[in-house]
Amino acid sequence: MDYVFVFLRFTLDTTPDAAWDALRSPAVFRKASAPLIRVRSREKGGFPDRWIDGTPHEVSLSLLGIFPLGHQRILVSLGERPGGVRMIVDKGAGLSGFLRVMPKWDHRMAVSATDEGRTLFRDRLAVRAGLLTPFVWISMWAFWQVRGARLKKLAPTWREPHTSQVPHTD
């Protein structure tokens, strides 16, 4: 069976810079997944402060923090597209347990400015799981709705990223 898709598109009550900074944070990823899915790092030293472009990170997931779902590899790339669109792409993989039925996926989150200075957020997940694809799709669709609602709720709390630039004087 071919890939199936889950799409979300909505406006976040925060600036694109704050959204971009937040979406690169494993802490925000964990908050958006909770309480339905609990995510734990399997890496020595735990989660980084921000996802590192091109560096795989293995995690364990559990449903409600009780029922193990398996391990997955997160492999993030960060980029910018024309028109001020910033994108995070995860080309991770399920490694064990239930997650192993999804040996590959393509997860893309994009942020850009609205005319009002808020953030247009687009989220697309493409998964394929052979004969189990319809069942995987419905579970991922349901989880994406919960996750989307959590992102909307969290967005107003996100702050502009701090810069350490020193003013230039001539």
- pLDDT computed for residue 162 by the predictor: 59
Distance CA 30, CA 19 (A): 15
Looking at the domain assignment, is residue 68 inside a domain? Answer: yes
**Which pLDDT tens digit goes with each residue over 41-86?**
999 999 999 999 999 999 999 999 999 999 999 999 999 999 999 9
Q: Judge whether residue 165 has pLDDT over 80.
A: no
Q: What is the pTM of this model?
A: 0.87
pLDDT at 106: 92
Q: Is 168 inside any structural domain?
A: no
* Structural domain includes residue 47: yes
Q: Where in the sequence is the domain holding 128, given as residue range(s)? A: 4-157
- For residue 3, the model assigns a pLDDT of 81
What CATH code is carried by the domain that includes residue 150? 3.30.530.20
Q: pLDDT, tens digit, for every residue of 124-163?
A: 999 888 898 899 899 999 999 999 999 999 999 998 875 5
135: in domain: yes
pLDDT band, residue 120 (cuts 50/70/90): very high
DSSP line for 9-67: EEEESS-HHHHHHHHT-HHHHHHHHTTTEEEEE-STT---SSPPTT--EEEEEEETTTE
**Interstrand relation of 93-94 and 67-74 (parallel, antiparallel or unpaired):** antiparallel
Residues near 83 by beta carbon (within 8 Å), at least 6 away in sequence: 112
Indicate whether 54 belongs to any domain: yes
pLDDT above 50 (res 169): no
Radius of gyration of the chain from its Cα atoms, rounded to whole angstroms: 17
Question: pLDDT category, 19, cuts 50, 70, 90?
Answer: very high
Structural domain count, the chain = 1
Please check whether residue 110 lies inside any domain of the structure: yes
